Every structure is written in C-alpha cells, then in structure tokens.
C-alpha cells in the first residue's frame, strides 16, 4: 500500500491511460468484435441481427465476383508493391547524393500524398481520358487501362511517402562503413548492394508492409477512377466487374438490396481482415530476418 502511494505516476496512471484505453475500446475493439459477430448474422440494422451460422461465409466463398476481385487485388498489390518501392528507393537514393535542391525535390515528391484518394481518382480519370480520347477510347473501356491507370495513380501518390522513409534509412547508414568500403576499393554498385541496402532493411520492411497492405485495402482511388468498369457481361446476364478490388466488392455487396447482403458483406470483410493481417505478418517475418544489427 505504501509503495503505491510513494509512486504518484503509478497511482494516477489510470487517469492518463483511461481516456485513450476507453476511446480505443469504444472506437476499435468493440466494433471489431461486433463486426465478427455480425458476419454470422442476417441483418439490415445492427440491433435487429439474427444469428444464421456460417451461411454468410458459404455465400461469400461461392460468389464469383469476390474471387475475381481477390485475384485482381492480389495482382495489383504485387505490381504496385514492386514498382512503388523500386521507384521510392531510387528517388531517395538520388536525393541523398548531395544534389542541389534536394530539399525542394523531397517536398515536391511528397506533396501528392496530401491529396485525398477520391479527388486523385477524378483528377487522374480526366488526365487519362484526355489522352485516351484521342484514340477514341476511355479508361472505362479496357481492363488493362484501368489496371495500369490505377498503378500509375498509386505510384504517383505513394512514391513520395515511401521516399521519406527510405531517406531516413539511408541517412542512418553509418559513415564509417561506407568509408571502409571505399577504402577497400568497393565499386558504387557493390557499396549499394552489400553495404547500403542491408543497412536500410528496416526501412524496406516498413515500406513493403505499408505498400502491400495499402494495395490490398485500396478503396477510394478504385471507386473514383473506374468503379469496377468495364464489366464483362456474360451470356447469362451475370457480370464481372473487371477492375473491382476487394474493398469495393465488399462495399457494393453491403448495399445490395437482398436481405442477406449486409451479412455476406460482413463475412467478406472478416475474410478480408484475416487475409490482409496474415499477409502483412508473413511479409514482416520474411523481411525482418534480413535486417542487420548495427
């Protein structure tokens, strides 16, 4: 008892931690648990939810559009992961070579990241169509335009952000190591691959994690740029929205007018969470192993 009173920080910790813990519980933990529960329910409004077992999961896995959007999202995530990181690292490397005006360039490259996704989507759809209309086509008419359009948009938006992280990593590479490499007669590329990159592995870990999960979670830009168009209209009247990604698929499912659709969308969202969390953790484990201790 005496010990507690002696340490005022400990005695008052609940006061300072309390609001944050409460906010986190109210804003995250509780909705998350409720979300999992709702994925086993049939509901229109949350308070009228009726338990219906794993029906929603069966419907979600049987949904062709969901599997299509999964593979499309996976392809998108991998391509954007590689391109964003290669470009961001290249820019970061160039901007740490002591070029004149580096600070200005850093600011300029970072700026696209400050624009919201929906706005970006509309702006880029105008840019793409400004070009494509010369060839009598549109980004909404070809799946490949929609795919690469979204890749270009995401690179433009994300490269600057990842660049900042890489610059911090590059600046932390110990000078003495670089100097030692130089004295030992290492070429520029040997220095880059044997000394610099192993030393920025922590940055690579965080950047690949961010771009992988961003790729999977992408919603606003997808909605504003193509909203899933073009569709493949199959002979039986069913459609496949060729550029619809996972998050948009879940959103569209939720607002379908069938009485089961909110529940199915909720089940899809839980599957989506497990997928993104699993992939993210696997990737973290993979790149962490390659980090070196200084």
Partner 1 sequence: MKNLKRVLAVLLAMVMVFGLAACGGSSKKSGSVYWLNFKPELDETAQELAKMYTEKTGVAVKVVTAASGTYSQTLTSEMDKSAAPTMFVIGNQAGVKQWKDYALDLKGTAIANELNTDAYNLYDETGKLVSIGYCYECYGIIVNPDLIEKAGHSMDEITNFAGLKKVAEDIHKNASKLGFDAFSSSDMDGSSSWRFTGHMANLEYFYEERDAGGWSECPATLTGAYMDNFKNLYDLCINNSCTEPTALANGGHDAENEFKTGKAAFFVNGSWEYAAVSETVPNATMIPYYCGVAGEEKAGLNCGTENCWAVNAKASEADQQATIDFMVWLVSDPEAAGKMVGELGVIPYKSAPASQNGFLADAEKYTANGCYVMDWATNYQPNVDDYRAALVSALNKYNADQSAANWAEVKTAFVDGWAVQYQKANQ
* Interface map 159-198 toward partner 1 (x if CB under 8 A): ----------------------------------------
Chain centre to alpha carbon of residue 239: 27
Q: How far is residue 171's CA from residue 130's CA, in Å, rounded to a whole number?
A: 40
Closest residue by Cα to residue 131 from 159, 154, 152: 152
Burial of residue 99 (CB within 10 Å: 0-12, 13-18, 19+) is exposed
- Residue 100 makes contact with partner 1 by CB under 8 A: no
Closest residue by Cα to residue 215 from 294, 162, 158: 158
Scanning 73-81, 107-115, 159-167, 230-238 for contacts with partner 1 by CB under 8 A, the matching segment is: 230-238
Q: CA-based Rg of the chain, rounded to a whole angstrom? A: 24
- Residue 259 makes contact with partner 1 by CB under 8 A: yes
**In the structure encoding, which two tokens stand for residue 254, read together?**
């939720």
Q: Work out which of 1, 3, 5, 47 binds partner 1, going by CB under 8 A.
A: 47
Scanning 95-103, 175-183, 207-215, 255-263 for contacts with partner 1 by CB under 8 A, the matching segment is: 255-263
- Smallest gap, in angstroms, from Cβ of residue 224 to partner 1? 10
Interface with partner 1 in residues 125-154 (CB under 8 A) = 125-126, 129, 133, 136-141
Q: Work out which of 228, 245, 271, 276 binds partner 1, going by CB under 8 A.
A: 228
Burial of residue 136 (CB within 10 Å: 0-12, 13-18, 19+) is exposed
**In the structure encoding, which two tokens stand for residue 160, read together?**
């600057």
CB closer to partner 1 out of 111 and 232 = 232
- Smallest gap, in angstroms, from Cβ of residue 75 to partner 1? 21
If phi > 0 it is left, if psi is from -120 to 50 it is alpha, else beta; for residue 186 that is beta
Burial of residue 293 (CB within 10 Å: 0-12, 13-18, 19+) is exposed
Residue position matching structure tokens 């009485």: 259
- Residue 104 makes contact with partner 1 by CB under 8 A: no
Interface with partner 1 in residues 6-25 (CB under 8 A) = 12, 15, 18-19, 22-23
Q: Work out which of 46, 86, 94, 277 binds partner 1, going by CB under 8 A.
A: 46
Binding site for partner 1 (CB under 8 A): 12, 15, 18-19, 22-23, 44-48, 59, 125-126, 129, 133, 136-141, 227-231, 233-239, 241, 252, 255-260
């Amino acid at each position: 008892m005496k010990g507690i009173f002696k340490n005022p920080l400990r005695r008052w910790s609940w006061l300072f931690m309390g609001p944050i813990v409460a906010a986190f519980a109210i804003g995250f933990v509780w909705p998350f648990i409720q979300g999992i529960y709702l994925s086993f329910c049939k509901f229109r409004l949350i308070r009228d939810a009726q338990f219906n077992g794993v029906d929603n999961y069966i419907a979600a896995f049987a949904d062709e559009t969901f599997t299509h959007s999964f593979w499309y999202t996976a392809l998108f995530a991998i391509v954007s992961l590689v391109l964003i990181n290669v470009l961001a690292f290249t820019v970061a490397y160039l901007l740490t070579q002591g070029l004149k005006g580096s600070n200005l360039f850093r600011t300029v490259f970072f700026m696209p990241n400050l624009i919201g996704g929906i706005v970006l989507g509309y702006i880029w759809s105008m840019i793409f169509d400004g070009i494509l209309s010369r060839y009598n086509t549109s980004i909404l008419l070809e799946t490949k335009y929609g795919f690469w359009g979204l890749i270009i948009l995401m690179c433009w938006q994300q490269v600057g952000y990842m660049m900042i992280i890489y610059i911090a990593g590059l600046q932390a590479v110990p000078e003495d190591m670089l100097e030692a490499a130089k004295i030992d007669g290492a070429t520029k590329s040997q220095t880059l691959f044997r000394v610099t990159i192993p030393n920025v592995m922590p940055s690579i870990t965080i950047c690949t994690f961010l771009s992988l999960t961003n790729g999977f979670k992408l919603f606003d830009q997808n909605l504003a740029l193509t909203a899933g168009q073009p569709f493949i209209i199959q002979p039986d009247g069913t459609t496949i929205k060729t550029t619809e990604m996972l998050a948009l698929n879940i959103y569209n499912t939720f607002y379908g007018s069938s009485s089961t659709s909110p529940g199915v969308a909720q089940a899809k969202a839980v599957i989506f969470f497990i997928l993104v969390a699993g992939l993210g953790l696997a990737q973290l484990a993979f790149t962490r192993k390659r980090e070196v201790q200084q």
